[in-house]
Amino acid sequence: SPSPLPQQQHTSRTITTTTNTMATFGKSVHDADGITLCRTDDGLFTLTMNRGENRWNLGLLNQLNTAIGIVEKAEHPKALVVQGSGKFFSNGLDLEWMLAQDRKAAKQNEQQRSNPGASSPATPPLTSTKFIEKLWKLLAKLLVLNCRTVAAINGHAFGAGLFLALCCDYRVMRTRRGYCNFPESSLGMPLSPGFAAIVKDKLPDRRLQREAVLNGRRYGSTEAKSVGMIDEEVPVEQLWETAAEIARDGYAHKLKLINFNPKQFSKLKMELYAEAYFALNKAKAPPLLKSKL
């Protein structure tokens, strides 16, 4: 993982976008280990992942969990834009790290069997199975977050990175670079229950499921929009601004929702995406297969 960034709280934050122009996202409310969360005066949060390929390991998961928790507890009006940096929105699971965790766990289990009287480690390794289940719970939190969420897909969104985008309410993708892809068929791995339920709830067209999952098709922005995987495609220079506009359009006062209730809004999402929400919170992840690499 990249070395941790210095913690910064409540300072004005300016971030370099993929075009090397400078966009001001408001005041920083969380900045650690390559994850920055900013908020504008009118309540728009921007969560930026800046960890190289933004692969899913414990560092990314913990920081996203903290940032999304901050948004969840904030007062309305509010909305959230999630974006990556450079060539990647998120390039999926950090499989090398996950396999290393499994090897550590197996080694400790073997040591315990050969020396039953030895004390157990204070912090046992997080196995890939337990990690996936923690990841699912984070995605469940984003899926039913109590405000509008928009993924600004600045580059490749593969595997778990695409599931992160699908758990947002809306998706905007840059043109001319980057693909959305489910790589499971290529990697010789199953979707597993939590991820499969997201596909069913967010991409209900069976033909799309067949092409995207079984055939492992890669979708550029134009194709992704034509099949309903994303909502808008724009040049990268307009990506954040377009995502921010869509996010702000979800403010209750703009929608004239007279008796808007954040808790009930979250429950509406639970009802819409019931299968995914249940699976992400309750399902058990399968063991990580060596064929995944």
Q: What is the pLDDT of residue 14?
A: 40
DSSP assignment of 36-85:
EEEE-TTSEEEEEE-STT--BSHHHHHHHHHHHHHHHHSPSS-EEEEE-B
Q: Return the number of other C-beta atoms located less than 10 Å from residue 268's C-beta.
A: 13
Is 73 within the bounds of a domain? yes
Q: CATH code at 232? A: 3.90.226.10
Q: Are the C-beta atoms of residues 148 and 250 closer than 8 Å to each other?
A: yes
- Does residue 6 lie in a domain region? no
The residue segments making up the domain with residue 186 are: 20-112+122-282
Please check whether residue 235 lies inside any domain of the structure: yes
Flag whether 7 is in a domain.
no
* CA–CA distance, 52 with 219 (Å, rounded to integer): 22
Residue 32's Cα: distance from chain center in Å? 17
- pLDDT, position 286: 83
Neighbouring C-alpha atoms within 13 Å toward the C-beta of 235: 3
Name the domain count of the chain. Answer: 1
- The reply to whether 237 falls in a domain is yes
Tokens (6 digits) for 41: 């005066």
- Quick one: pLDDT at residue 196? 95
Residues of the chain where predicted confidence (pLDDT) is lower than 70: 1-23, 117-122, 288-293
Exposed e or buried b per residue across 159-197, where buried means at least 16 C-beta atoms within 10 angstroms of its C-beta: bbbbbbbbbbbbbbbbeeebbbbbbbeebebebbbbbbb
In a domain, residue 4? The reply is no
The total number of residues shown for the chain amounts to 293
Q: What is the pLDDT of residue 11?
A: 37
Q: What is the pLDDT of residue 122?
A: 59
- 196-200 contacts at long range (C-beta below 8 A, 24 or more positions apart): 196/279, 197/275, 197/276, 197/278, 197/279, 197/280, 197/283, 198/139, 198/143, 198/163, 198/166, 198/167, 198/276, 198/280, 199/166, 200/275, 200/276
Does 71 reside within a domain? yes
Residue 263: inside a domain: yes
